[in-house]
Amino acid sequence: MNIVVCMKETPSITAVKRFTADMRLERRKEDAEINPFDEYALEEGLRQREKHGGEVIALCMGPVTATENIRKALAIGADRGVLVTDPALEGSDAIGTARALAAALQKLGFDLALFGSAAADSYGGVVPAAVAEVLGQPLLSFASKLEIADGRAKIERAAETGYQVAEAAIPALVSVIQTINVPRYPSMKGIMQSKKKPIDTFSLADLGVDATLVGVAGAREKATGSSPVDTQRKGELFSGNDGAADRIVAFLVEQKVL
């Protein structure tokens, strides 16, 4: 089975975040990590490969420096990596990103394309459905369980009460949520092996994507400015069990919520 895992590089949650002069998130190489949500997608890819055989490709659209995090995916267990990178992709919105990823998926060919449920830099959670739309395919979204059998992919997805089951024919696109598995860490052996695994690079020309539909040229939204938010809170502290419940009730009453 040919499995492609779409992995974004995002700044770590503890990194100090700033905007560039043109109001884009400043991406510093040293803060960049694999989007934590995508570790579940990678783990699921590895587990499906263990069951069904085949190959796992880590696919990332990002700057050239993202190679380091692709290498990390290879150390965790992916067989090879693909980086989609092109100056014209800078400033892509979710739909531009989806166009480039869809083209890469098409070029690679796949039985199973896996996504995280959102990227930790913007919490969009929209790229997977947009990729599916560009490819004219269904998306099995927000999966908490995945089974592949008889040429079909079947997922469970959490609903308000209980869960739903959804299924579609292979090739299938699936986005996963955190409860699907527990991601593994890279092993010493994996790290050694990763150095010999191939990473290919695709440009927009390689993918045949129209440069006016991606990057800043294709983006339909523009940030015009930003201001800091006053996040100061009252921070009243009450110590001890005695009278604590009374203080909370009084607080709720003061705030007119009780």
Partner 1 sequence: MANDVWALAEIANGKLTGVSLQVASKAAELAGQLGSSSAAVAIGTNTAAATVELGSCGVKTVYAADGTVYDEYLIQPHVDTLAALVEQHQPAVILFVVSNYGRDVAARLAARLGLGLEYNVSDVTVEGGRLVLTVPAFDGAQSVKAKFVGDGTKLIGARPNAFPANRVGGTAELVTVAPATAPANGAKLSGPFGAEDTGEAGRLGKSADGHDTWLPAANLPKLEEAQIIVSGGRGLGGPAGFAQIEALATALGASVGASRPTVDDGWIPYAYQVGQTGKTVKPTVYIAVGISGAVQHKSGMGSSRLIIAINKDKDAPIFGFCDLGVVGDLNVIVPQLIEKVKQRKGS
Nearer to partner 1, 25 or 64 (CB): 25
3-class DSSP state of 77 = coil
Residues 196-225 that bind ligand AMP (CB under 6 A): none
> Binds 6, which of ligand AMP, partner 1, none (CB < 5 to 8 A, cut-off by type)?
ligand AMP
Q: How far is the CB of 227 from ligand AMP (least distance, A)?
A: 24
Nearer to ligand AMP, 155 or 192 (CB): 155
Can you tell me the distance from the alpha carbon of 124 to that of 137, in angstroms, rounded to the nearest whole number? 20
Can you give the three-state secondary structure of 146-180, one letter per residue? Answer: EEEECCEEEEEEECCCCEEEEEEECCEEEEECHHH
Helix axes of 67-76 and 36-52: crossing angle, nearest 10 degrees? 40
Stretch that binds ligand AMP, among 5-13, 19-27, 140-148, 225-233 (CB under 6 A): 5-13
Site string for ligand AMP, 28-57 (x = CB under 6 A): -------x-xx--x----------------
Among 75, 94, 103, 104, binds partner 1 (CB under 8 A): 94
Among 64, 149, 169, 192, binds partner 1 (CB under 8 A): 169
Residue found by looking up tokens 């959804």 in the block: 166
Helix axes of 94-108 and 127-135: crossing angle, nearest 10 degrees? 50
Does 127 bind ligand AMP (CB under 6 A)? Our answer is yes
Amino acid at 108: L
Q: State phi, psi for 102 to the nearest 5 degrees.
A: -60, -40
Among 21, 150, 162, 185, binds partner 1 (CB under 8 A): 162
Stretch that binds ligand AMP, among 69-77, 105-113, 121-129, 211-219 (CB under 6 A): 121-129
Question: How far is residue 52 CA from its own chain's centroid?
Answer: 24
Can you tell me the distance from the alpha carbon of 166 to that of 155, in angstroms, rounded to the nearest whole number? 5
Does 21 bind partner 1 (CB under 8 A)? Our answer is no
Does 149 bind partner 1 (CB under 8 A)? Our answer is no
User: 10 Å Cβ neighbour count for 237?
Assistant: 5
Site string for partner 1, 196-235 (x = CB under 8 A): -----------------------xxxxxxxxxxx-x-xxx
Can you tell me the distance from the alpha carbon of 95 to that of 127, in angstroms, rounded to the nearest whole number? 7
Q: Which residues bind ligand AMP (CB under 6 A)?
A: 6-8, 35, 37-38, 41, 59-62, 94, 97, 101, 115-116, 118-119, 122, 124-128
